[in-house]
Amino acid sequence: EVQLVESGGGLVQPGRSLRLSCAASGFTFDDYAMHWVRQAPGKGLEWVAGISWNGGSIGYADSVKGRFTISRDNAKNSVYLQMNSLRAEDTALYYCAKDRGGGSSGWTPFHYWGQGTLVTVSS
Amino acid sequence: IVLTQFPGTLSLSPGERATLSCRASQSVASSYLAWYQQKPGQAPRLLIYYATSRATGIPDRFSGSGSGTDFTLTISRLEPEDFAMYYCQQYGSSPVPFGGGTKVEIK
């Protein structure tokens, strides 16, 4: 059974940093691209970042480019999101999602999702 | 690409047919268009990909159609568990936009 478990969320002041983690199990992790998607309270879905199976292809939403960094450790079956210079508008539930493919030739649909970790940016 | 979903809210009764629309600001290459369902307090679930292909385990009352800039998700006969939010998504290259969503609510 595929499982994606996010962690690392919490309350953080504007301008500070936070690192999210997603631990994956139930599939061959280093065969698949992974993504972070967020959802602000009461709002819709927003793709944040994606990383291919080997980290060779990475993409970011314009809203986080230059502030957030996605990475992965295939030995630990984990994907990470380093979030710097956090703003109030980054407040959201952050989901980790598994791509249907490896990501080397582009992204494909997200067919498994975790339950999310909540990030609140407030002073 | 910007994805616009309409209507914002669809009020229907169980057993009725639901038609949800998603319009892209530019043509979607290779019909790289997916639909997701999200219920309150839950993560999204993939329903449809490549505009018309049902994901594993999705009932055949869900169907997708369209190409280019106009796409449709149809639920042939609404079951009580189908009342939820629905999002379209264009994938393939970065960024990966989602539509604003359509809420299907019980009338």
pLDDT band, residue A41 (cuts 50/70/90): very high
Coil, helix or strand for B70? Answer: strand
Q: What is the pLDDT of residue B63?
A: 98
Tell whether the model's pLDDT for residue A42 goes beyond 90. yes
Taking the CA of residue B66 and the nearest CA in chain A, the distance in Å comes to 17
Pairing verdict, β B53-54 and A10-12: unpaired
Query: What percent of chain A shows pLDDT beyond 70?
Result: 100
What residues contact residue A114 under an 8 Å CB cut-off, 6+ apart? A3, A4, A5, A6, A22, A95, A96, A97, B43
Q: What is the pLDDT of residue B30?
A: 78
**B94's tokens:** 């970065």
Q: Residue A86 and residue A13: Cα distance in Å, rounded?
A: 8
Q: Is B8 on the interface with A (CB under 8 A)?
A: no
Q: Residue A116 and residue A22: Cα distance in Å, rounded?
A: 9
Per-residue pLDDT of chain B (107 residues; tens, 9 = 90+): 899 999 999 999 999 999 999 999 999 987 899 999 999 999 999 999 999 999 999 999 999 999 999 999 999 999 999 999 999 999 998 999 999 999 999 99
DSSP B55: P
**A86's tokens:** 């956090």
Q: Tell me the mean pLDDT in the region A72-88.
A: 98
Coil, helix or strand for B43? Answer: coil
Residue that the structure tokens 């609140």 belong to: A120
Q: What is the pLDDT of residue B31?
A: 87
Q: Choose the closest CB to A109 out of B91, B93, B97.
A: B91
β-partners of residue B72 are B21, B65
Taking the CA of residue B61 and the nearest CA in chain A, the distance in Å comes to 19
Taking the CA of residue A17 and the nearest CA in chain B, the distance in Å comes to 23
Q: Residue B47 and residue A35: Cα distance in Å, rounded?
A: 18
Which chain A positions have a beta carbon within 8 Å of B99's beta carbon? 44
Q: Is B38 on the interface with A (CB under 8 A)?
A: yes
H or E segment to which residue A81 belongs: strand A78-83
Residue that the structure tokens 């992974």 belong to: A34
**B76's tokens:** 């042939």
Taking an 8 Å cut-off on Cβ atoms, the answer to whether B101 and A47 are in contact is: no
Q: How many residues does chain B have?
A: 107
β-partners of residue A36 are A49, A96
Q: Residue B84 and residue B101: Cα distance in Å, rounded?
A: 10
Taking an 8 Å cut-off on Cβ atoms, the answer to whether B87 and A44 are in contact is: yes
Lowest mean pLDDT segment, chosen from A24-28, A99-103, B41-45, B55-59: A99-103
**B80's tokens:** 């009580």
Cβ A21 vs Cβ A70: under 8 Å: no
**Among chain A residues, CA nearest to B53:** A109
Taking an 8 Å cut-off on Cβ atoms, the answer to whether A35 and B96 are in contact is: yes
